[in-house]
């Protein structure tokens, strides 16, 4: 009797899941990007939105809700209805780092979301101004030690480029001044203008400046050298170990979104990522497309949380 009742309940749950997914989507799906428009994250979101629109036959729009290192947009999605119509472009910074850094967020960066699909992975590089008298990491470290407090690096506070700079200082025992910025783009602009000396930034952002020789690439955080910069060593090769090799980005839904909808979204996203057009567009901004299941994305976020917590703990950074 109990077994029959259990089987009936399971069958009812399964039918409810199917009913939730039938006809989905029936209206516009919204992807919240918790960063300003124009950056690689925003560009990737718009590529995916266009791909999903063509597959669903319904509009998929991108809405930028920037501020507080991604926390404003993430909080809005966490509070949204779990019906598959509001998604978050999240990943390393929003979902893996904030939990180790902040209290009283108003949402749980892991438990408040259901991972849908990873989209791409990016890596970081240490970029310095042409004015800095260093062409290698060791030369930079030597100069910083000979001129304590003179060099300056910039980043938005509380995100991985900030932690990368502090981690570099800790591992190399150097005194380099941190200059906070509202975004990565203004920091890069000031390096180009000679107002600060160095930044850590994404491959997708910095690669054009390296190719045009407007900035010097001293090292990259990836496990292997960038194909585009074969002469630039990895951080490990440069003698600075322990950097997380990449940062990841993907789509997440509010916790409680029906599994059937998550599966449908994952299938459509991966189908788009397999297309030559989307892959070429992601290649053009310097990121690596990643195809996988929601469970694989969740596992990757857990690993990112572990890696970046180690960095945060070692640097001793505390954020209000």
CB 219 within 8 A of CB 200: no
Query: How far from chain centre, in Å, is Cα 84?
Result: 21
The answer to whether 27-121+246-315 and 124-220 have equal CATH topology is yes
Residue ranges of domains in the chain: 27-121+246-315, 124-220
CATH fold of 27-121+246-315: D-Maltodextrin-Binding Protein; domain 2 (3.40.190)
The 10s digit of each residue's pLDDT in 227-250 is 999 999 999 999 999 999 999 999
Share of the chain above pLDDT 70, in %: 93
- pTM higher than 0.75 for the full model? yes
The 10s digit of each residue's pLDDT in 27-67 is 999 999 998 888 888 999 999 999 999 999 989 999 999 88
Residue 14 has pLDDT above 60, yes or no: no
Average pLDDT, integer, range 179-198: 94
**Looking at per-residue confidence, does 178 or 14 come out higher?**
178
pLDDT of residue 180: 95
pLDDT of residue 11: 53
Q: What is the spatial order of strands in the sheet that 124-129 belongs to?
A: 177-180, 152-155, 198-202, 124-129, 215-220
User: Would you state the CATH architecture of domain 124-220?
Assistant: 3-Layer(aba) Sandwich (3.40)
The 10s digit of each residue's pLDDT in 195-236 is 999 999 999 899 999 999 999 999 999 999 999 999 999 999
Which band of pLDDT confidence, cut at 50, 70 and 90, is reported for residue 125? very high
pLDDT of residue 20: 54
Residue 9 has pLDDT above 80, yes or no: no
pLDDT of residue 67: 85
pLDDT of residue 6: 44
Average pLDDT, integer, range 59-79: 94
Which band of pLDDT confidence, cut at 50, 70 and 90, is reported for residue 15? very low
Q: Is 178 exposed, middle or buried (0-12, 13-18, 19+ CB in 10 A)?
A: middle
Q: What is the mean pLDDT of the chain?
A: 92
pLDDT of residue 39: 82
CA–CA gap between residue 192 and residue 214 (Å, rounded): 7
CB 82 within 8 A of CB 257: yes
């Amino acid at each position: 009797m109990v077994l029959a009742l259990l089987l009936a309940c399971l069958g009812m749950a399964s039918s409810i899941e199917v009913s939730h997914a039938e006809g989905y989507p029936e209206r516009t799906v919204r992807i919240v990007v918790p960063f300003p428009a124009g950056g690689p994250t925003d560009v990737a979101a718009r590529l995916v939105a266009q791909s999903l629109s063509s597959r669903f036959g319904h509009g998929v729009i991108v809405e930028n809700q920037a501020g507080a290192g991604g926390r404003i947009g993430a909080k809005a999605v966490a509070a949204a209805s779990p019906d598959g119509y509001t998604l978050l472009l999240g990943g390393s910074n929003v979902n893996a780092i904030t939990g180790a850094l902040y209290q009283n967020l108003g949402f749980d960066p892991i438990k408040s979301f259901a991972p849908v699909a990873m989209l791409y992975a990016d890596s970081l590089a240490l970029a310095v101004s042409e004015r800095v008298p260093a062409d290698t990491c060791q030369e930079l470290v030597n100069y910083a030690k000979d001129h304590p407090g003179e060099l300056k690096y910039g980043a938005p506070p509380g995100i991985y480029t900030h932690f990368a700079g502090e981690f570099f200082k800790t591992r190399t025992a150097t005194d380099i001044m941190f200059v906070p910025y509202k975004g990565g783009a203004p920091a890069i602009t000031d390096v180009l203008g000679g107002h600060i000396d160095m930044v850590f930034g994404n491959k997708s952002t910095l690669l054009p400046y390296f190719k045009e020789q407007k900035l010097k690439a001293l090292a990259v955080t990836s496990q292997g050298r960038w194909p585009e910069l074969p002469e630039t060593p990895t951080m490990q090769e440069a003698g600075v170990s322990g950097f997380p090799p990449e940062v990841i980005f993907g789509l997440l839904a509010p916790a409680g979104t029906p599994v059937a909808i998550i599966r449908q979204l994952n299938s459509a996203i991966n189908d788009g990522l397999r297309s030559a057009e989307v892959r070429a567009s992601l290649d053009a901004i310097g990121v690596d497309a990643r195809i996988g299941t929601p469970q694989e994305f969740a596992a990757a976020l857990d690993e990112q949380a572990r890696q970046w917590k180690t960095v945060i703990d070692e640097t001793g950074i505390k954020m209000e």
